[in-house]
A = this chain, B = another copy of it.
Amino acid sequence: MAKVAAIIGGGVIGGGWAARFAIMGWDVRIFDPDPEAERKMSEVMANAERSLPMLYDVPLPARGKMTFHSSIAEAVEGASYVQESVPERLEIKHKTLAEIQKHLDPEAVIGSSTSGFKPSELQEGAKDPTQILVAHPFNPVYLVPLVELVPGDNHDPRAVDWARTVLTEIGMYPLVVSAEIDAHIADRFLEAVWREALWLVKDGIATTEEIDNAIRYGFGLRWAQMGLFETYRVAGGEAGMRHFMAQFGPALKWPWTKLMDVPEFTDELVDMIANQSDAQSGQHSIRELERLRDNNLVAIMRALKGQGAGAGLLIKDHDATLRGALEDSVPLVTMQRKVPVDWGDMNGHMNEGRYGQVFSDASEELMAHVGADQAYVDAGNSYFTVETSVKYLVETHIGEDITVETTVKLGEGKKLRLWHEMKRQSDGEILATCDQFLLHVSLETRRSCPPLAHVQEAVERLAKAHGSTEGNVQGSE
């Protein structure tokens, strides 16, 4: 069917849907009676345009055409998929759905963004109830992949298939929820946590910030990758899920939350969960799951470190307390570190692309050492790298401890030439080398100029100590 989606109801949710569809190459036809709709949606679209394509390492399809329409009838013309995101009042939903169905191609499907209504409620009195499904997304819709797809008892498998195909094609993960239930699945957890959180704040046990920190520095990091049950499967260790449940089971009777309507902890329930957990994760040993978990935790925390956020900011601050001044050796030891998992490929090798990172980080250490540190840059002065030549000598592996030794080959005026050797710590073997040429620039004029006196002196002192032999860099190999 044609890649044409109708978005009925704008705002943050409708805007997120529109952005996802358009960025993934669908034409998007929008109806929203709010006179502010176009402005609001264009703001969401700008956020989405900036961030969604960053997730991808391939060119995306040509953007779909986005048009605004003055009626539902016009908006749904030619659409093969409609997403309804009007306010959460059943009479509004019914009226809107009826108007959509009056004009929509009978082969098309309607997804509703509702978090509160079950499909049977939405379908009441509909011309074709099987055309209406719940497709409940999560904010921001243009980035978070989960969408709960709830067809209800009265459904047409072809409609469910089409919805699943469309949602997958725009990069989402349609979780088909076969039973109708209030709040679907994810919002039940959010609601339980919300209720407990309200108690904690109300009772003065913790503030909103303390609660957020308890989540983002703790189990939030685990849940971003494995969720609840697989995390506990690992915690259970070799003894497995049944062992974990036996340990954790009694807590159901304890006042560990104020939410006390608990299911009975029977052998049958334990079996059910242990068997489902086996089906889900049984192909991995606990050792493998531990490895996956740790790799993901390292990668997530390093990702957050790059953004200076959450648990990554803690590590960044900790880095700063551990960072010592560079010792004035010849050559300078500008890096001593372990190759982290996020620098590797699936086969355990350090990616070719990360050698540039290593030598760039090494030269930043040298910069700080000669006084061209962040404050120097903030004051409008900097060294820019003009050219680097990297030689790849020996493969490097994830987890290897590496060292970079740096020699100043030339330090005259605005010119700086560095020679880096990256070595394996265990045996000193040279893994790669880098010849790096930098020019000092003024960040104001964006032109090259000599460094400030204290940096100039430090660079010249190093060049002399390192036996600078201008122009003869290759000689050091």
Contacts and interface: CB of A to CB of B under 8 A. Distances in A.
Interface in A262-303: 262-263, 265, 269, 272-273, 276-277, 279-280, 290-303
B219 A205 contact: no
A90 B207 CA distance: 30
Contact of A226 (B59, B212, B279): B212
A102 to B, nearest CB: 30
A309 interface: yes
A215 interface: yes
Interface stretch (A91-99, A103-111, A334-342, A457-465): A334-342
A171 B298 contact: no
Interface residues of A, number: 160
8 tightest A-B CB contacts, nearest first:
A356-B356, A212-B227, A259-B259, A353-B357, A220-B223, A146-B218, A54-B340, A303-B303
Contact of A55 (B213, B276, B296, B301): B301
Contacts of A255: 182
A240 to B, nearest CB: 13
A259 B208 contact: no
Instruction: Tell me if A's interface is mostly helix, strand, loop or mixed.
Output: helix
A325 to B, nearest CB: 11
Contacts of A385: 352, 392
A175 B209 CA distance: 11
Counted per complex, copies of this chain come to: 2
A368 B168 CA distance: 26
10 contacts: A57-B337, A175-B210, A193-B228, A208-B277, A209-B229, A212-B228, A212-B229, A224-B311, A296-B303, A300-B303
A243 B53 CA distance: 31
A190 to B, nearest CB: 6
A305 interface: yes
Given A322-B61, A356-B356, A206 B223 contact: no
A204 interface: yes
A224 to B, nearest CB: 4
Interface in A86-131: 116
A358 B173 CA distance: 29
A279 B208 CA distance: 9
A358 B351 CA distance: 11
Instruction: Pick from A208, A215, A248, A337 the residue with the most CB of B within 10 Å.
Output: A208
A185 to B, nearest CB: 5
A222 interface: yes
Contacts of A204: 179
Contact of A341 (B54, B212, B217): B54
A416 to B, nearest CB: 14
A392 B386 contact: yes
A187 B256 contact: yes
Interface in A325-365: 336-342, 346, 351-361
Nearest to A308: B346
A379 interface: no
B211 A228 contact: yes
